[in-house]
A and B are shown apart, each in its own frame.
Chain A
């Protein structure tokens, strides 16, 4: 632009002119160039050039769809303001554009009017429109950024447009992909299956005996699914906390001091797909399991199916989640300064008294935290109850069955999801309120030469007694997983075989050369591909959010943090059902695509990236960014040139964890996977469901090995020095979760 006179009048200077113009141009491109609606076959096939009718931009469509025409107005308004050299007023234009986009998008959907009152008002079936496409995405992004530019010009966030833009972007994506799906659950809970609003039905479903009955206590029938879930979760929470504490005490306060224990326990739960432990338990204790067969053959104990139900679920979850409690408690125990215990002993307190009066009170909040985290994990766990539940239902599996069954009761699924969500969010809030805010860390920056006090004798014995059976079982479980797929039928027929491995992973030579003929290849490659795509976005969004939380001050920061972290407390099954309810119909229609799986990965794993970012940013003194800002660098330059290089460990951590968690996730994606976008975990659960344990176990073993190789490979690549910090960051991130 060669209009020096105007650009001087601008509040934001010449650069503002360019940025605003660029966003405006993007908005125009979205309106007049790109396909406004979703193109079948995918945008990136680029064959929409050759199919102009189907992939028309909004401007051409507005002949038949006049409601699209008002979308041009904000573009004209913004263009006019820019011509005048003003940034103020862009916000109005952007806001109008977004508001109209949302209003028309929800009012006119695939089947006609989106609201029944609109249909009643119009009296006609109404026009229809498909889901939004990339043109609409470009338009919406441009409008959002115009609002950001205006807000920055008005002095928001010290007038820093990058900060405002980033903030709006993160908030908009959280609203679209976290809040809106949750809202859809609420909306569909009050509807019957034909889409009519029936508030009475909601109450009836919410208070139904299926959910809340206490029959089993009276000895009459079964208990409601909510109580089942709570009972398991409390039991698992207590057991995990006790075992986690025992392991943590052994790792830190005995002569054993096993580093390998700490290391393997911090990695195993992350790379192990959740249902694998349940599978291994069936192979051990199922009716035809190894242990059962042994007992029945040698001791005459008849075979039974005790493992299917509450006992089995509890056992699997305790095996799976104890490492998480352990990591939390290791962090807490490390935070207890040894010199305090030494002081106590110097004052002639016995070892036992020292533990009881000094150590115990200091770790008590950590115990609460460990309990609540195990509680949430247990409630949210979907795969173990699916594999081991038998006729014992919990909320997460019930939600799934309400959707997949022939009954197909989305309303019931929504109600169950609300109940489950209420429990986990309550636990999440409790954890934050009681433990999150306060600091019980007694390690100061000053040198602390204390040596941790050894455990009192009986306590040590108790720790070993609790932890050793658990460790033994864990070792056996992993041995079963890694070997079980390579014998005919483990326990019954231990002839080694490659049969299952070859069914899953064979490579054959056909007419056109070698091809992957194994049944597991499509899902494995798809999983790794989608997880890789999600990885950088998760890390970027997480680190950006962490930076906004740690380094910027703005109104509603606490609410923002809560929204960002809440997705940790939303169980995967709830995410899955909410995505189906929200994104199966226009305006945002994503089901059946790979994109929706990537999005669910990104928003499910974002909290881990945020934690890693926050933990690392905490360690970087603010004076560094201040120096950069004082020297005239903008916030973007500061973030990019000063903070990101130091944050590299956090970035790497975030990437690794988002990748690994995406590969091992199952609860949310089981709703979203399709034939074309099938995922490894969904495939394994499917095999296990019909009883083909051989393939399921061999596939799970391959997944674990692949994860292990990737983790070790990245460690080698990044190098030993950085490894230390990365791991510290990683453990902190996991521990805080």
Chain B
């Protein structure tokens, strides 16, 4: 090889390196440039719905929405960890209890939206309960789903009650999320405690633990797993199971016979938000009919909180579900949550 050849090749690779560096820096600078109008959102519902909300808002307003999807319990934990230096502006979606807990601990900001009077009663009550640090955006009932084909193959009777799930024939076939990370599973835990009393509920979960194949992180994951056939039974919100049933007709939704709890999916503004203005604008928009209409096309069939938003036809019919009188104030309080979660971790998950 000639000397010049070597040199040009050396120069070539120098150019490559320089180009790469420039590209990288340009990427960073580009990111910084877009920092004009920003909104950092922690999103607690299904990814598809989160994405739709973020991109639609971005399209309509030009505000750059940085969205991260996490489970409600995770978001709460993250807000606590970041208390000294909040990274997020708004926490949209996810079950109401962690929202209430965050409100109680002063992690979220008080805000009274002008849209508030247009909301259904339960959504307004949620706001009152938290001294206007959070607000209801949708309502969903707890339940479970099972795979009918699998059940027939095994000659099992279809489960109808919570009590059916602890039968030995379901050993290793039930999936549920971990209440430590998931708001869905927390609702399940709180529902059982309200149905049976605390000690009996812990007992129930101990027996259920024998049948649990896996505690997932996200609350909707068991529903998806039923849809894919990765598990026989999945405890989740009924709207998540309905979504799975849309994709797999063998999936059936169960509204347990003993009665069941429900969630008020909520939204809060983070205390110390760096883009408070944008957060409040988003808050108003998210309560509007236009924004709430985005749920159903993206596979989320909850009951929306704005009175004028049409209820999706797929949504579970509340008149046919035996709802318990869920005590949100009590089960959204920091103290009760900590106590029950500790019992669940110590006695159920690690107790065996």
Contacts and interface: CB of A to CB of B under 8 A. Distances in A.
Given A405-B180, A519-B51, A592 B85 contact: yes
B345 to A, nearest CB: 7
A690 interface: yes
Contacts of A41: 32, 35
Of the listed residues A222, A532, A535, A675, the one surrounded by the most CB atoms of chain B closer than 10 A to its CB is: A675
B81 interface: yes
Contact of A532 (B23, B98, B150): B23
B24 A305 contact: no
A584 B221 CA distance: 30
A691 B228 contact: yes
Contacts of B32: 41-42, 44-45
A689 B10 contact: no
Interface stretch (A418-426, A562-570, A635-643, A713-721): A713-721
Interface string B23-37: 111011101110100
A539 to B, nearest CB: 9
Contacts of A718: 9, 13
A40 B180 contact: no
B224 A691 contact: yes
Contacts of A390: 213-214
Contacts of A714: 16
Interface residues of B, number: 75
Contacts of B28: 44, 529, 533, 594
B220 A690 contact: yes
A580 B216 CA distance: 24
Nearest to A209: B350
B181 A689 contact: no
Nearest to B225: A691
Interface stretch (B70-78, B300-308, B315-323): B70-78
A588 to B, nearest CB: 12
A717 B19 CA distance: 14
Contacts of B228: 288, 489, 691, 693
Interface in B129-161: 150, 154
B77 A408 contact: yes
Contacts of A286: 230
A536 B35 contact: no
A406 B76 contact: yes
Given A406-B181, A407-B345, A530 B216 contact: no
Given A390-B214, A690-B221, A652 B13 contact: yes
Given A308-B214, A718-B13, A721-B1, A408 B81 contact: yes
A525 B28 CA distance: 10
A350 interface: no
Interface string A293-313: 000000000111100100000
A65 interface: no
Contacts of A263: none
A513 interface: no
B84 interface: yes
Given A222-B352, A390-B214, A675-B66, A689 B221 contact: yes
B219 to A, nearest CB: 9
A725 interface: no
B17 interface: yes
B180 A675 contact: no
Nearest to B337: A406
Interface string A98-120: 00000000000011000000000
A537 to B, nearest CB: 9
Interface string A70-85: 0000000000000000
Given A594-B31, A717-B16, A585 B181 contact: no
A624 interface: no
B312 interface: no
B47 A692 contact: yes
A717 B12 CA distance: 8
Contacts, number: 181
B85 to A, nearest CB: 6
Interface in A36-71: 40-42, 44-45
Interface in B333-347: 337, 341-342, 345
A568 to B, nearest CB: 25
A391 B215 contact: yes
A648 B337 contact: no
Contacts of B213: 305, 308, 390-391
Contact of A111 (B21, B84, B337): B84
A406 B230 contact: no
A42 B230 contact: no
B80 A408 contact: yes
Contact of B41 (A288, A410, A675, A693): A675
Contacts of B218: 689-690
B274 A40 contact: yes
Interface string A637-663: 000000001001000100100000000
A137 B117 CA distance: 52
A302 B172 CA distance: 13
Interface in A673-722: 674-676, 678, 686-687, 689-693, 714, 717-719, 721-722
A589 interface: yes
Interface in A469-528: 489, 492, 510, 517, 519, 525-526, 528
Nearest to A659: B20
A517 B51 CA distance: 11
Nearest to A44: B32
B67 interface: yes
Contacts of B181: 401, 404-406
B69 interface: yes
Contacts of B69: 686
Given A594-B31, A690-B220, A718-B13, A584 B85 contact: yes
A600 to B, nearest CB: 16
Interface string B51-83: 100010001000000111110011011101110
Contacts of A689: 216-218, 221
Contacts of A407: 77, 180, 341-342, 345
Interface string B265-297: 000000000100000000000000000000000
A674 B66 contact: yes
Contacts of A431: none
Given A45-B33, A492-B229, A717-B12, A533 B24 contact: yes
Nearest to A208: B350
Contacts of B42: 675
B212 interface: yes
Contacts of B55: 517
Contact of B352 (A110, A221, A531, A533): A221
A529 B35 contact: no
A282 to B, nearest CB: 8
A322 interface: no
Given A690-B221, A719-B9, A675 B76 contact: no
Contacts of A205: none
A591 interface: yes
A536 B17 contact: yes
B215 A591 contact: no
Contacts of A305: 172, 213-214, 230-231
Nearest to B59: A510
B314 to A, nearest CB: 20
B87 interface: yes
Interface in B75-125: 76-78, 80-82, 84-85, 87-88, 98
B31 A648 contact: no
Interface string A131-159: 00000000000000000000000000000
Please list the 7 inter-chain residue pairs (A to B) with the smallest Cβ-Cβ separation, ordered nearest first. Answer: A529-B27, A288-B229, A532-B24, A675-B68, A406-B73, A675-B66, A533-B24
Given A585-B84, A691-B230, 4 more contacts: A287-B229, A302-B154, A532-B27, A693-B228
